[in-house]
Amino acid sequence: MPEALLEIRGLSKHYVTRTGVVKALDGVTLDVFPGETLAVVGESGSGKTTLANLVLGAEGPTSGSLRFQGQELGTNRALGLRRQIQYVQQNPMTTLNPRRTIFQSIQVPLQTHRVGLTNDHRKRAAELLQVVGMSPEYLDRFPSALSGGQRQRVAIARALAVEPKLLVLDEPTSALDVSVQAKVLALLIELQARFRLTYVFITHDLSVVRNIADRVMVMYRGKVAEIGPTAELFRDPEHPYTRMLISSIPVVSEEEEALKPQWPWERNLALDSAAVSQGCPFAPRCPFAEQACWAQLPPLTMVREDHYSACHMVSGEIPNKLVKT
């Protein structure tokens, strides 16, 4: 195993709200390796953006730690460390300042991180546009003149301007039309190989990760439900929640349908709001839930090499319970 680029240990972020404490992130431990794409999936509210904010240093954790290339990542980071980790957000309509030209937007990180001479910034910005498949003609245009896909390309160019090692991509294609989504994904794959980038790719959409991710981390209510190599996780999901997610991916052919795990039970969305003070957070929706699942939090347990699941059924505490259909 190569040395991890990013080490996350017991990371939690709890928000105190008027209605109680929200455990947006709860004890997440994870390594991200150089050059890989780690997809982070989970439904709305599972803590994906919270994780991104902590990795980027936009917020500090309630507990736990982060290290990047062995260096502690606090909230007050040295400029040189901040430069290594860049962000591409979901909504290309709001990430670019409407009053700045494309050149001015790309120039911001160049100035912040004092990359090159100011006189060379325009040339560098033109190169960056070409890198993301756009003509330098766009340099003096405003975001309003660009399509959603073009704006996202500019956002990617801006993130790449400072030559980061790690890109955190938070739903980078979900606001785009399907045909544009595929092109932006193809661009991201190409850029990763070209610049040896490492991606943390956040999405609520499992079908997107199949072609892009090396590993997938499935989150449920701020916790890791399952993490493993992409192909294996799709072929043989361990956690009932992962199975549920995969079974609900829309498919186009009967052959594909036949390959999917079946989820014949109700999805119990209403039950999801049931409070689980202890035990497995997925228990209210899980057709396999037993007494132990309500009483005890299942630990993240190794099921195969490099593949972990937080379910009592894999940790062996409920023997012979999961009959796979």
Ligand X SMILES: Nc1ncnc2c1ncn2[C@@H]1O[C@H](COP(=O)(O)OP(=O)(O)OP(=O)(O)O)[C@@H](O)[C@H]1O
* Least separation in angstroms between CB 196 and Mg ion: 27
Residue placing its CB nearer to Mg ion in the complex, 26 or 238: 26
* Least separation in angstroms between CB 73 and ligand X: 18
Which of ligand X, Mg ion, none is residue 192 near (CB under 5 to 8 Å by kind)?
none
Q: For residue 281, state whether it binds ligand X (rule: CB under 6 A).
A: no
- Residue 64 one-letter amino acid: G
Distance from first CA to last CA of the chain, Å, rounded?
34
* Least separation in angstroms between CB 126 and Mg ion: 33
Our measurement of the distance from residue 89's CA atom to the centroid of its chain's CA atoms, rounded to an integer in Å, reads 11
Q: For residue 17, state whether it binds ligand X (rule: CB under 6 A).
A: yes
Which of Mg ion, ligand X, none is residue 24 near (CB under 5 to 8 Å by kind)?
ligand X
* Least separation in angstroms between CB 17 and ligand X: 5
Residue placing its CB nearer to ligand X in the complex, 46 or 230: 46
Residue pointed to by tokens 């829309």: 250
Total residue length of the chain = 325
Q: For residue 15, state whether it binds ligand X (rule: CB under 6 A).
A: yes
Nearest residue to 269 via CA among 294, 247, 286: 286
Which of Mg ion, ligand X, none is residue 195 near (CB under 5 to 8 Å by kind)?
none
**Residue 230: how many CB atoms within 10 A of its CB?**
19
Which of Mg ion, ligand X, none is residue 64 near (CB under 5 to 8 Å by kind)?
none
Q: Burial-class residue 316 by CB neighbours within 10 Å (0-12, 13-18, 19+).
A: exposed
The CA–CA distances, whole Å, from 168 to 36, 62, 143, 198 equal 12, 21, 22, 9
Residue placing its CB nearer to ligand X in the complex, 129 or 175: 175
Residue placing its CB nearer to ligand X in the complex, 25 or 132: 25
Q: For residue 12, state whether it binds ligand X (rule: CB under 6 A).
A: no
- Residue 70 one-letter amino acid: G
Which helix or strand (DSSP H or E) is residue 51 part of? helix 48-56
Residue from the set 4, 9, 14, 22 that interacts with ligand X by CB under 6 A: 22
Residue placing its CB nearer to ligand X in the complex, 49 or 86: 49
For binding to Mg ion (CB under 5 A), which residues are involved? Answer: 48-49
Number of residues that bind ligand X (CB under 6 A): 13
To 5 degrees, how large is the angle CA 132–CA 138–CA 140?
A: 135
Residues 260, 251 contacting (CB under 8 angstroms): yes
Residue placing its CB nearer to ligand X in the complex, 45 or 261: 45
What is d(CA 208, CA 211) in angstroms, rounded to the nearest whole number? 7
Q: For residue 73, state whether it binds ligand X (rule: CB under 6 A).
A: no
Which of Mg ion, ligand X, none is residue 105 near (CB under 5 to 8 Å by kind)?
none
Name residues whose C-beta falls within 8 Å of residue 46's C-beta, 6 or more positions apart in sequence: 219, 220, 221, 222
Residue placing its CB nearer to ligand X in the complex, 17 or 320: 17
Residue placing its CB nearer to Mg ion in the complex, 49 or 230: 49
- Residue 61 one-letter amino acid: P
* Site for ligand X, residues 41 to 70, rule: CB under 6 A: 42, 44-50
Residue from the set 6, 8, 11, 24 that interacts with ligand X by CB under 6 A: 24
* Site for ligand X, residues 199 to 228, rule: CB under 6 A: 204
Site map for ligand X, 159-198, x if CB under 6 A? ----------------------------------------
Per-residue DSSP letter, 139: G
Q: Are strands 166-170 and 198-203 parallel, antiparallel or unpaired?
A: parallel
Residues 190, 201 contacting (CB under 8 angstroms): no
Per-residue DSSP letter, 58: S
Residue ranges that bind ligand X, judged by CB under 6 A: 15, 17, 22, 24, 42, 44-50, 204
